Amino acid sequence: PYLLMASAVALVATAAFHTWWARRHGHAPPSDEADAVPVGAGAAGGTGTAAGEAESTGGIVGAGETGTTLWRMRTTVLDAPGSLAALCTALAGLRVDILTLQTHPLAQGTVDEFLLRAPASLQAQELSRKIAAAG
């Protein structure tokens, strides 16, 4: 009976702590885009890579001057150490956030599909040039 009672107390304490922790900390980072207004979707040019395409899936304009645009980008990355890091470094240089990444392995590389949040002032041609230069 003592072991059963101790297990029950531990279970209740763990459940209470988990509930407190989940309500105390949000699962998503805070953003200024809570009151954002969606902007109409439009298409953009390709990335300039072998199997790549970048298209605007719509934008979000925040309350202030920090407007962003969501991009969906698909590109082929060589299966070599550092090739994905070079691509991510190029995106970071443009102040682009990678929201999601899906990989589709091929025989000689990988098709990576990104969901990106970029500054609204970033043009499709500039994004394409940077990605093509990164490999």
Residue 98, classified by CB atoms within 10 Å of its CB into exposed (0-12), middle (13-18) or buried (19+), is middle
CATH number, residue 110:
3.30.70.260
9-50 per-position pLDDT tens digit? 999 999 999 988 888 766 655 555 544 444 443 334 434 443
Residue 43, domain member (yes or no):
yes
Is 94 among the domain residues? yes
Average pLDDT over residues 83-102: 91
Classify residue 5: in a domain, yes or no: no
Which pLDDT score is estimated for 117?
92
97 belongs to a structural domain: yes
Rounded Cα distance, 15 and 20, in Å: 9
Give residue 108's domain range. 32-134
Span of 15-29, 53-67, 110-124 with lowest mean pLDDT: 53-67
Count how many domains the chain has: 1
State yes or no: pLDDT of 56 exceeds 50.
no
The answer to whether position 20 is within a domain reads no
